[in-house]
Amino acid sequence: MVGFAGFDRSDYPGKAAMDWLKANTNFRWCGFYLAPAPSHQNTSWMDADDADFDGWGFAPIYVGQETTGPGSHSVTAAQGTIDGAAACALMLKANFDHGSFVYLDLENGPPLLTAEREYVGAWCDAVVAQGFGAGVYCSFLFAAQIKALRPNARIWAFHVRTVSQHTVSGAAFPTPDPSTSGFFGADLWQLDDEAIIPCAAAPSGHLIVDLNSANSADPSTP
């Protein structure tokens, strides 16, 4: 199976850049950051006009509690329930229908600690209880543990070759099968990080994005 190309970046790139990417690349979908969230306060994706996204698929991202690095670190089951409900409220605010999938962002590598397992499980349960689908963005190294924890959760596995900025040329970006990411059960694969890609409509003539491949042109759909 060949995947569908997508990108994600923290800052919304603007309508002109979105239109250019849609017309000049093979991108079919993009990450959509729900905010404000505990570890992501930037609301630029939420503030964009719905008309900016005509023809795009989405992977809604909720950056909740993190175990390492910047952000909030209240990693408990109780907080997972709170954050799951908050993610669903943001999904509705961003006009995603009930049944749509939302992806909890876990930035850490292994090990998957007990507290994080409890947080993720409670978050997924709260999302499902509110009528949405639960997904988890996580390292391919413990994706199998997340899938075992909540078998119905969609997995967005990250497995990248570098986290340093580097130039990726061209307009046809890779679309490998997510099952080849290092975790066979992945539905999405972040395969490149900090890629500098051409975008004539961006002020600098380029954008810095993460490159992804998914088994759907719209990873938010049930």
Residue 159 identity: H
Pairing relation of β-strands 133-139 and 206-214?
unpaired
Q: Which of 1, 2, 8 is nearest to 190 (CA)?
A: 8
d(CA 145, CA 142): 5
Residue with tokens 């190309």: 5
Beta bridge partners of 5: 213
The string of DSSP letters for 16-64 reads: HHHHHHHHHS---EEEEE-SSBTTB---HHHHS-GGGGTT-EEEEEE--
Q: Where exactly are the structural domains of the chain? A: 4-48+55-114+131-214
Buried b (16+ CB within 10 A) or exposed e, 29-54: bbbbbbbebbbbeeeebeebeeebbe
| pLDDT the model gives residue 96 | 97
- pLDDT value, residue 219: 98
Q: What is the pLDDT of residue 2?
A: 86
Output the pLDDT for position 170: 86
pLDDT at 51: 83
Q: What are phi and psi of 190, to 5 degrees?
A: -85, 110
Where do we find the tokens 């939302």? 102
- pLDDT tens across the length of the chain (222 residues): 689 999 999 999 999 999 999 999 999 999 999 999 999 999 999 999 988 899 999 999 999 999 999 999 999 999 999 999 999 999 999 999 999 999 999 999 999 999 999 999 999 999 999 999 999 999 999 999 999 999 999 999 999 999 999 999 989 999 999 999 999 999 999 999 999 999 999 999 999 999 999 999 999 999
Euclidean distance between CA atoms 198 and 214, whole angstroms: 21
Q: What is the pLDDT of residue 52?
A: 86
Contacts of 44 (CB under 8 A, 6+ apart): 11, 12, 33
* pLDDT the model gives residue 78: 98
Class of domain 4-48+55-114+131-214: alpha beta
